[in-house]
Structure formats: structure tokens, C-alpha cells
Amino acid sequence: MRKTALVTGINGQDGAYLAKLLLEKDYRVFGLVRRSTRPSFHNLEYLGVASAVDYIEGDLTDEVSIFQAIRLARPDEIYNLAAQSFVGSSWDQPILTAEINAMGVVKLLNAIKELTPHARFYQASTSEMFGNSNRAGLQTENTPFHPRSPYAIAKLFAYWIVNNYKESYGMFCANGILFNHESPIRGKEFVTRKITDGVARIKLGLQDTIRLGNLESKRDWGFAGDYVEAMWMMMQHATPDNYIVSTGETHTIRDFLDLAFRRAEIKNWKDHVAIDPRFKRPAELFTLQGSCSKAARKLKWKPRVKFEELVEMMVDADIERVTQEIKNTANKR
Ligand code: NDP
Ligand code: GDP
């Protein structure tokens, strides 16, 4: 029989890639979307799946709407991808971040327990929960957590409440501890997309400088399209569990800049990058590098897109998009 999934955060980067994957697998896909004066379905449109999703209006801070969404969708699987997802903003909006990323998850779990207790639940957990634990080696599922931002602290609460509902009520609850993952539809506030968008605009003469914060941070960057497959695989396993999803490689922001400017054939990126203290964080995470050996062993998952390919994919897509925007503006004149 055809399966039904409810995806929160469907308009985001991962929501769009996951919706595409689930539709390819013949799921009926419901997506929870927040009311907005200007709703944006760009990511789903970019992947060509916007019209194939059934949308339900709702907000993770509003329990009534969550109950309604679950009652309407009667899902077999629920993927909770909705979040205030930007670490940087979490210092400015710590309460909202906790309301969505922590309390929102309790509301969701509680509604599932009441209405569809046999539904399977996926929680978008994050490598940010590790903080600077184990800086010298690979982080694993057993590395101690030491969250360093209001974002990570709220996500850690969610991680534990998900485990607790599994242990207390026997619900199928899985945490995917995902390391940074990017794509051409990554939000432009994140460093990778900020760089590739900036590189495209510099290449096409619209901008001269990209203003950045700490260039020494190291991240384990993978491709969002690969990572949503791991989410789905966790939900098909016989037993619920928590898994790291990562590439096992780590690179600095400088490495990313090197590759991105090289791809656009712009020499000397240092001439186009300015350090701006506004983009430095009150508490930094220096190195993230995860071992996905458990996911490889138990789920047979592995990342396909390599770091260099990812950077090139994002630069090429942004150059194409900015070129199109310039043409569209010229045609309007
Ligand atoms: P995005 O920022 O692209 O998407 C977040 C989505 O959440 C958006 O659709 C947003 O809706 C929605 N949302 C925000 N607040 C609410 C709310 N109160 N009620 C309902 N929906 C809401 O994030 P990603 O796709 O990159 O990430 C998906 C999830 O994975 C997030 O939970 C993130 O924290 C987590 N994660 C991401 C990683 C990454 O590297 N991408 C790494 C590890 C974890 P709207 O469009 O209305 O703003
Ligand atoms: P995060 O790992 O979820 O916080 O993802 P980001 O892409 O937001 O940040 C990754 C790293 O890039 C962090 O260590 C940031 O401090 C660093 N960074 C340096 N300059 C910038 C910038 O201008 N914007 C962002 N978002 N991050 C920056």
C-alpha cells in the first residue's frame, strides 16, 4: 500500500530534497508550512516537486495546528525538519529558537503519541550538539555532547526528548545526527552558500567583496541530496536508533574559498574577502568531523558527492542563477 509521510520544514533545503526522494518512492507527501505574507516554495520548485506535495498550514509553536496536521495526514512516517536552523541567529533569538527547536518537538511527539502512536518519527539532530568535544579525532555516536550555542542547546533537548519518548512509550523514534550539508538551495546566510553566491556575483561584476567572520573553522561538509537518503533509511530499519551522517572529511573555510574562486576562474580570493567581526560568533565550534561508520554498517549508507564536487556544483548553480537574474532584469528594461 502507498505510504504517507508528513514533512515539517518542507520549504527548507532538506525538506525539498526529502520530498523529491519520497515522491520518487511513491509516497504521498504532506508538508507543513507556516503562514506567511509571502510564502516561498522556491526550493521545491527548483527540484520540480512543488505541485506534487499536499500542503498543510501549521507552525511548530502552535500545538493546535500540529494536532490538526497529524489528524489530516494520518502519516506512516513523520520527518521533523522544521527549525530555526541558523546558529548565528540563535544568540539574537534564543527564546524563539528554544520554542521551535525544543518545545516544538515535544508538541509534535505528544500529538503523535495521542493520534498515531505507531507512526515512525525522524528528528533532525545536529553535529552542533558536540561542540568542541573530541577536536582531535572523529566524532562518533558516543562522543560527549557539549553544545555551544542556544541553537545546539535546544537541539540537544530535542535529541533527549526523542530518546525519552522511544524509551517511555515504545514509539519508533530516530535521531539523525547530521553534520553540515549543503546544496545549490542552501540558505544564503550559511557560509558555503554565502561564498558561492558572492563568487558568482563577483564573477558577473555585481559585487567586489565577500565579508566573512572566522576563516579557520573546519567543517565536515556533505551534499544534502545524499543526506536525506540516510534519513529515509533510518526510518526503514527494523529498530529505531540514532546515527551520525557525515563524510568523515573536514575542511577549513579557506579551503572552501580556494576551490570556489578557482572554479569561477577568479585569481587571488584574498583580494575579494574582508574579515568582518559582525560575522564572528560569541562561542565558536572549531572542528567538526564525523564518523558515519555506524550508518555505513547498519544502514549501508555512504555519501556519494565529494567535497570538491559539492563546491563546484554550488558555484556553477549560482553563476547560472545570477546570469539568469541579470538577463531577466535587462529584459524588463
Ligand atoms: P532550512 O533553514 O533550509 O529549513 C528550515 C525549515 O523549517 C523551513 O522550511 C522553515 O520554514 C521551517 N520552520 C522554521 N520555523 C518553523 C516553525 N515555527 N514552524 C514550522 N516550520 C518552521 O534548514 P535545513 O533544511 O538546512 O535543515 C533541516 C533541519 O536539519 C533543521 O532542523 C536543521 O536545524 C537541521 N540540521 C541541518 C543541518 C544542515 O547542515 N543543513 C545540519 C544538522 C541539522 P520557513 O520557510 O517558513 O522559514
Ligand atoms: P554552522 O556550522 O551550522 O554554524 O554553519 P555556518 O555555515 O553558519 O557556519 C560554519 C562556520 O563558518 C562557522 O564556524 C562560522 O563561524 C564560520 N563563518 C565564517 N564567516 C561566516 C559568515 O560570514 N557566515 C556564516 N554563517 N558563518 C561564517
200 alpha carbon – ligand 2 mean position (Å): 19
Rounded to 5°, the CA angle 104-84-151 comes to 90
Q: Is 220 in the pocket of ligand 1 (CB under 6 A)?
A: no
191 alpha carbon – ligand 2 mean position (Å): 5
DSSP string, 188-224: TTSHHHHHHHHHHHHHTTS-S-EEES-S--EE--EEH
Residue 137 per-residue DSSP state = S
Identify the residue whose C-alpha is closest to ligand 2 atom 24.
191
The owner of cell 545570477 is: 322
C-alpha cell at 317: 548553480
Q: How do 172-178 and 242-245 pair as beta strands?
A: parallel
* Cα separation, 148 vs 120, whole angstroms: 30
Q: Is 97 in the pocket of ligand 1 (CB under 6 A)?
A: no
What domains are defined for the chain? 4-182+222-245 (3.40.50.720)
| pTM tops 0.75 | yes
Per-residue pLDDT of the chain (333 residues; tens, 9 = 90+): 899 999 999 999 999 999 999 999 999 999 999 999 988 999 999 999 999 999 999 999 999 999 999 999 999 999 999 999 999 999 999 999 999 999 999 999 999 999 999 999 999 999 999 999 876 789 999 999 999 999 999 999 999 999 999 999 999 999 999 999 999 999 999 999 999 999 999 999 999 999 999 999 999 999 999 999 999 999 999 999 999 999 999 999 999 999 999 999 999 999 999 999 999 999 999 999 999 999 999 999 999 999 999 999 999 999 999 999 999 999 887
Q: What pLDDT sits at residue 136?
A: 73
152 alpha carbon – ligand 1 mean position (Å): 13
Neighbours of 254 (CB within 10 A): 15
For the stretch 172-209, what's the b/e string if a residue is b when 16 or more beta carbons lie within 10 angstroms of its beta carbon? Answer: bbbbbbbbbbbbbbbeeebbbbbbbbbbbbbbeeeeee
β-bridge mates for residue 142, sequence order: none
